[in-house]
Structure 1
Amino acid sequence: MNNHDKTDPNIGISRRDALKLSGLALGGLAGGSLFDLVARAAHAADTCESDCTCAEGPSCRWDSEARAQNYTYFNRLPPFSPFSRETSTTIPRLGKDEIRITFMGSAVPPRTLAQRMMSIFVEVGWDEATQMPRDQFVFDCGSGVCANYGAMNVGYGRMTKIFLTHLHGDHMSDLVHIYCFGPSGDRKSPQFVWGPGPSGLRNPDYDPADETRGPEFYDDGTRAFCAHLREACRWHSESFSFQTTSYKLYEPPTQADWGLPHEPVPVGTDSPRDAYALIPIELDLTLPAEQRVAYDNPTTGVRITYFPVIHDRRGSIGYKLEWNGLSLIFTGDTKPETNSLEQARNGGDGIDVFIHEMAVPAEIWAMKSLRLNDPDQVPDAAVQQSQMVQNSSHSPQGAFGYILNQIHPRPRLTVATHFPTADDTVACAMRSLREHGPCYMGNNANHTADAARVTWSFDRMVITVSKDRILEQRGMVKEFGFQATYQPPPGTYNRPDGFDTPKYHYEGQTGGSAGDPYAQIDTTTAICPCGPDGECNFREDGY
């Protein structure tokens, strides 16, 4: 008897049978976890509870270390160089009618070195005068992604607009790095952050007679998150404010300029012109669908709307970006639900790129997390825990295949992300997708007319979209490089007087170069390059 067929003495049913009963066999949609068999009342609100049965899923191989430690498809993609010699900014030229999507992070925790957590960078069009994209956006910024942004030549000044799908650490934790170090780089303007409003969920521990149990409703929306982040980073922002943090030609955008749902107001007391101003744009999911507009810029032509998805806690959102007849959807994290499906159908017009999360089956998630290579070796408790997380939060590969097969017309490209991408996991997932309909991978693959083109994201994968084609490429980076090319703000190139005076500056002096790096430190114990007798202690030039 293998581990799949073991009977839990506390339940009296095998794990395999339990999975069948709850509709969780590979290729099924979603259902209750194994715990449902003993505590079904605790999941009374689960609309997926049923006794449906599904056929066994495909057999998958997990016995090859080489397949587990490589993603061959990505390695064979044509190269993309993020530093160009053809433009004055070194930003690779983008066609005036093209969108470029770069995956700076693509993993689900607890993935290690191969992939960072979630983040997508989107550029649209090209401005010949500035030698830059017409508009650009960050969608999520999970842990570790800043290394990929720098390697892919995206500096802080190009990351001013950050759209968060939800406030989990693997989707927002590198905001700390971006916010803190941006003003020391080329972001000399405020940091804008879009995200969900308060969840409105009641605190189950609330007791009006005991204030230590917390408030009845937590202020858990994006504005509160930004307000606390601003103060948490106070030491950093003050310590670096001997450097200039604003420039003279900057004009703060108004609500009308960017088509925002409300006026852009910084948290705290920072000037709306300063790079340490943190400006939340909170998105209200209670609005009618036609009013859910996050960004609608009449100058660049980009329109970004949002919609609710189902992930862990109320308030998780997905985004749709539309520009110049092209469109993409980024769902963020979500269990199978109908809003993403309807957004992808787009009223019958379809979309160009559909980016949706995908999870491996619960037992494989547990197996990989435990560094095993045989599902039979995975303890039942580990599978149960993974299954519980999946049921509340994620779309397994079979559900992904079902959803994709319901979208007509097909997206021109569907991207599975938030996935532990490797040869073995992708091969298994592709088998699940093909149980629901024909699909293929590749820039030039042969396929049937109704087949869906799919790909699995990987860090530094670049997808360029035009009306004529969609090209997948592989970012070629220098692992020992330093940072993106500095992009001087307008009116500051070789002009220190184009910057405003730093907060900490020499008394009686003003001007872009008058910052005082000694204003906040005590130098009485400092060791100087030269001693009082003129003897050289160490070279002042650093050598």
Structure 2
Amino acid sequence: MPLLRSLLLSLLALAIAGLVMAQADVKKPSSEQDVEAVLTGGVPMGRWKEGLLFDGVRPMPWLKSAANWFPGTEDVQPNEMRVTFMGTAPMIRPGQMNTSIYVELGNGDKFVFDMGEGAVANYVAARVALNEIKHVFITHLHVDHFGSLPYLWMFGTWAGGWHEPLTIYGPSGRTAEYGTKKMVEGMRMMLGWHRDAFSVFPVGKGHDIQVKEFDFRDNGGVVYDKDGVRVIHWQRSHAKDGASGYRLDWNDMCFVWTGDGRPSKLDIKYAKGCDLYVTELQPEVVEINSGVQGVPPFLARYTIDTHHTPGYAAGYLASQIKPRMFMTTHMNFDPFLNEETVAEVRHHWKGPYHFGAPDGIVVNMTRDLVWVREGILPDYPNSRAPQFDFSRGQLVVPHPPHRREDIQEPFVREQQLDPAAYYPKGYMPHLLEDWPVEGDIVIPMDVLPDNLKDSMGASWRLRNKNRKALEEQPGN
């Protein structure tokens, strides 16, 4: 007992000593004048405004990081427009797929402008479910602007795109054979075997692709007008009739993607005053590029002067249009080019400017603020679950149009190995060689497992939440 008492007294003494020391470490607060001097020290003319940070160009408070965007970590806010560069180069290469720009609006609407070869991989990496992509606007029919459409159409349908067809918007040609309708007709023929093979899966309306072709000469014509979103088009000079630019207006904000083409008075007319102006750009380094890419300088010069926008012209256009943020894409992102590109743009344009490259660059924009970040796209992402509208309180899985017996001769099935020959002893799955039910599968929402209900209804819930917030705003 004496030993225990001695130990307790020692512990008590240590505790008292620690408390006294802790109190001794508490210092007298600085005066209000000193605190103010620290917090405002160095502020020029009463406010911070440094370098290239223009008025209204700064991060929003809801961003998880001011430097990077991480897919799946941030919801688009009710009054926000988010623009992601999913493909940024004319010549496909790792790190830069062919051109595609993804526009998400706070009301839940989503639009794709161009769908170049390889870009679909970046949509997957950005956690966009392929069945969410329903409206694709094609600027022109060079393959680097629509090459991912076959994959999007087929695998978007397979991955839950059963209830609403994919709609392609695009210009006519001088003759019918060169219009968007003809391209999609050819794609439909090209994918004939694929479509029939995939008809053993649920299809619904997914294979009923729609085309809304507009007259390329109808400058300022309306391509899309729904739920407060309006998209217009105009001609671009890109060596052949049919190339077009687009402007999207929503919630007192607008986005322009010109597509490819020579600098034009029409760009100034239809993009004037737009918040986010994006055009393509080719820098004046044709001899250097010829050494790097192995292309004769005259061919690069000829290509620019018949098809594209030089860097100096891009800056000049921005100086006339005066956007809140100017961006250029469809350009190689290389150290030997980047500084020259900025110098050329800055010859005319002194306002906010950023590269729309490499792949994954993200722009967040509200009526007051705009901010550009680098998206961190994983190399080996998991695909996002298909997204469904659960307004009717149920998930409907349509019955497949065909069985294997309808599209395959029996001989080849008879040559299939007996599964008992390759499955381990004691293990034999119940093979699902035929669709398990007749007719559509209709599953009430409250019967769905929570993980499926949560993952497949995320976009639907966010859209409803944001639209309610928009409706409750003053003046609506």
Query: Does residue 1:112 correspond to 2:93, yes or no?
Result: yes
Instruction: Report matched runs for 1:372-411 at 5 Å.
Output: 382-407=296-321, 410-411=322-323
Give TM-score scaled by structure 2 length.
Answer: 0.71
Residues 403 and 275 of structure 1, relative CA distance in 2, 3 Å threshold:
same
Residues 492-532 of structure 1, C-alpha deviations (whole Å, 9 max, x = no match): 9874xx22221014xxxxxxxxxx69963631110121159
| 1:142 aligned counterpart, secondary structure | coil
CA–CA separation in structure 2 for the residues paired with 1:535 and 1:368 = 55
Query: Does residue 1:164 correspond to 2:138, yes or no?
Result: yes
Give the unaligned 5+ runs of structure 2. Answer: 1-64, 432-476
1:194 aligns to what? 169
1:441 aligns to what? none
2:116 aligns to what? 142
CA–CA separation in structure 1 for the residues paired with 2:247 and 2:210 = 21
CA–CA separation in structure 2 for the residues paired with 1:330 and 1:101 = 11
Q: Percent identity?
A: 25
Give TM-score scaled by structure 1 length.
Answer: 0.63
Query: Does residue 1:500 correspond to 2:403, yes or no?
Result: no
Match of 2:80 among 78, 98, 111: 98
Give the unaligned 5+ runs of structure 1. Answer: 1-75, 85-91, 127-132, 201-217, 247-273, 371-380, 439-450, 506-515
1:426 aligns to what? 338
1:280 aligns to what? 211
| 2:267 aligned counterpart, secondary structure | helix
Match of 1:80 among 62, 69, 76: 69
Instruction: Note the C-alpha offset of 1:457.
Output: 2.6
The amino acid that maps onto 1:221 is G
Contact in 2 for aligned 1:426/1:456 (Cα 8 Å): no
Residues 286 and 395 of structure 1, relative CA distance in 2, 3 Å threshold:
closer
Residues 473 and 390 of structure 1, relative CA distance in 2, 3 Å threshold:
same
Instruction: Note the C-alpha offset of 1:172.
Output: 0.4
1:266 aligns to what? none
The amino acid that maps onto 1:282 is E
1:485 aligns to what? 385
Residues 308 and 488 of structure 1, relative CA distance in 2, 3 Å threshold:
same
Instruction: Note the C-alpha offset of 1:168.
Output: 0.4
| Greater alpha carbon shift after TM alignment, 336-345 vs 387-396 | 336-345
The amino acid that maps onto 1:197 is S
Instruction: Note the C-alpha offset of 1:344.
Output: 2.3
Instruction: Report matched runs for 1:125-524 at 5 Å.
Output: 125-126=106-107, 133=108, 135-188=109-162, 189-200=164-175, 219-246=177-204, 274-287=205-218, 289-290=219-220, 292-297=221-226, 300-345=227-272, 350-361=273-284, 362-370=286-294, 382-407=296-321, 410-438=322-350, 451-490=351-390, 495=395, 498-505=396-403, 520=408, 522-524=412-414
Residues 467 and 519 of structure 1, relative CA distance in 2, 3 Å threshold:
same
Residues 372-421 of structure 1, C-alpha deviations (whole Å, 9 max, x = no match): xxxxxxxxx801111111111001112212222233xx200011100101
Instruction: Note the C-alpha offset of 1:335.
Output: 1.2
CA–CA separation in structure 2 for the residues paired with 1:397 and 1:387 = 13
The amino acid that maps onto 1:462 is V
Residues 7-66 of structure 1, C-alpha deviations (whole Å, 9 max, x = no match): xxxxxxxxxxxxxxxxxxxxxxxxxxxxxxxxxxxxxxxxxxxxxxxxxxxxxxxxxxxx
Larger radius of gyration: 2
Instruction: Note the C-alpha offset of 1:436.
Output: 2.5
Contact in 1 for aligned 2:125/2:380 (Cα 8 Å): no
* Aligned residues between the structures: 363
CA RMSD of aligned residues (A): 2.5
Contact in 1 for aligned 2:88/2:356 (Cα 8 Å): no
Residues 539 and 473 of structure 1, relative CA distance in 2, 3 Å threshold:
farther
Residues 526 and 365 of structure 1, relative CA distance in 2, 3 Å threshold:
same
Residues 127-184 of structure 1, C-alpha deviations (whole Å, 9 max, x = no match): xxxxxx2x11110011101110000011222111110000001000100111111111
Residues 230-280 of structure 1, C-alpha deviations (whole Å, 9 max, x = no match): 11101101101111112xxxxxxxxxxxxxxxxxxxxxxxxxxx1011211
